[in-house]
């Protein structure tokens, strides 16, 4: 036990310097009244009051939450069928599909987002394809659709991998037992497979929603500055305006939003983890 404690010291020091200290500095700046790196001990909550009394900032926060929810829902709706198909494939096919999903993640997310600029730009391949199919010429870049597309593309692997892991860990004997009791494939999926895969869905929601709500470079690149989210506001306060204190206050507000989201996800996960669905007796392929 003492050896383990000693081995953990470097990690604890790294954690304190790289995670705890920056968070404490952000918290300190959020309740002080000076900026541009000058330390002051004049405490105030004016930055939080400014944020919650400004309709523009509240609108941006609401827009960020809506975009994050849309991204999470789309990732879940697309990711679950894909994960289900992968989980029910042969070992060789499953490994190939998992590799196809994870390989793009080896490339920097910023580079992958830049690639979409060329795809969605005027005269790009996607616009040319739509024109060839008779959909006419439409503006694809600098729209909410472009931002959603970029977020879904970057975050959907997290949803697929989490759900696939949950489906692969499932006890296949439960599916066989369901078939032996007369359930068809739809009943087996709705009453056995889907409830048991909920922990993976909940984990995927957490891994998609949290980065989506605070993303700043995806809306900046694909939104062209016309689609401002809360992450862009924080970046602007630190880099452009130089209001470190107000930017820190917004960061603390977003940290509180994320912690509340994680708490709700944990509560939901604790209710679904390891829970075997209770089903009514099945007779002749139908519930009695």
Query: pLDDT, tens digit, for every residue of 67-101?
Result: 999 999 999 999 999 999 999 898 899 999 999 99
Nearest to 199 by CA among 274, 279, 87, 263: 274
My answer on whether 27 and 166 are in the same domain is: no
**Which residue range forms the structural domain that includes residue 76?**
56-107+142-244
The position carrying tokens 């383990």 is 4
My answer on whether 67 and 47 are in the same domain is: no
My answer on whether 28 and 66 are in the same domain is: no
Q: Find the CATH number of the domain harbouring 79.
A: 1.10.3720.10
My answer on whether 72 and 189 are in the same domain is: yes
Work out the average pLDDT over 25-46. Answer: 78
My answer on whether 36 and 166 are in the same domain is: no
My answer on whether 36 and 93 are in the same domain is: no
My answer on whether 45 and 63 are in the same domain is: no
My answer on whether 47 and 99 are in the same domain is: no
Rg, C-alpha atoms of the chain = 24
Domains held by the chain: number: 2
- Domain membership of residue 183 (yes or no) is yes
My answer on whether 87 and 151 are in the same domain is: yes
My answer on whether 192 and 85 are in the same domain is: yes
Start-to-end CA span in the chain (Å): 56
My answer on whether 150 and 196 are in the same domain is: yes
- Domain membership of residue 48 (yes or no) is yes
My answer on whether 34 and 148 are in the same domain is: no
- Domain membership of residue 180 (yes or no) is yes
- Domain membership of residue 255 (yes or no) is no
Instruction: Please state the pTM of the whole predicted model.
Output: 0.83
**Dist. CA 92–CA 88, nearest whole Å:** 11
Nearest to 221 by CA among 235, 207, 238: 235
pLDDT for the residue 48: 93
Supply the DSSP string of 181-233, one letter for each residue.
Answer: TT--HHHHIIIIIHHHHHHHHHHHHHHHHHHHHH--HHHHHHSTTSS--HHHH
What pLDDT digit, counting tens, does each position of 160-179 carry?
999 999 998 888 888 888 87
């Amino acid at each position: 036990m003492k050896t383990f404690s000693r081995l953990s010291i470097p990690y604890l020091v790294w954690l304190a310097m790289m995670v705890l200290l920056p968070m404490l500095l952000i918290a300190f700046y959020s309740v002080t009244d000076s900026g541009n790196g000058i330390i002051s001990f004049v405490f105030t909550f004016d930055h939080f009051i400014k944020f919650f009394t400004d309709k523009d900032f509240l609108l941006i926060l609401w827009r960020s939450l809506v975009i994050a929810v849309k991204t999470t829902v789309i990732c879940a709706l697309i990711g679950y069928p894909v994960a289900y198909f992968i989980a029910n494939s042969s070992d060789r096919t499953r490994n190939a599909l998992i590799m196809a999903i994870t390989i793009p993640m080896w490339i920097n997310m910023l580079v992958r987002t830049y690639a979409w600029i060329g795809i969605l730009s005027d005269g790009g391949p996607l616009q040319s394809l739509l024109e060839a199919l008779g959909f006419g010429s439409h503006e694809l870049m600098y729209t909410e659709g472009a931002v959603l597309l970029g977020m879904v593309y970057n975050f959907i692997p997290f949803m697929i991998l989490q759900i696939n892991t949950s489906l692969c860990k499932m006890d296949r004997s439960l599916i066989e037992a369901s078939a032996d009791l007369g359930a068809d494939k739809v009943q087996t999926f709705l009453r056995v497979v889907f409830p048991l895969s909920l922990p993976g869905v909940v984990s995927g929601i957490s891994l998609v929603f949290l980065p989506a709500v605070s993303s700043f470079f995806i809306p900046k690149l694909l939104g062209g500055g016309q689609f401002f989210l809360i992450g862009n506001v924080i970046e602007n306060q630190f880099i452009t305006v130089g209001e470190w204190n107000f930017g820190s206050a917004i960061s603390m507000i977003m940290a509180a939003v994320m912690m509340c989201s994680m708490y709700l996800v944990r509560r939901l996960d604790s209710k679904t983890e390891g829970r075997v669905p209770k089903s009514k007796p099945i007779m002749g392929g139908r519930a009695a």
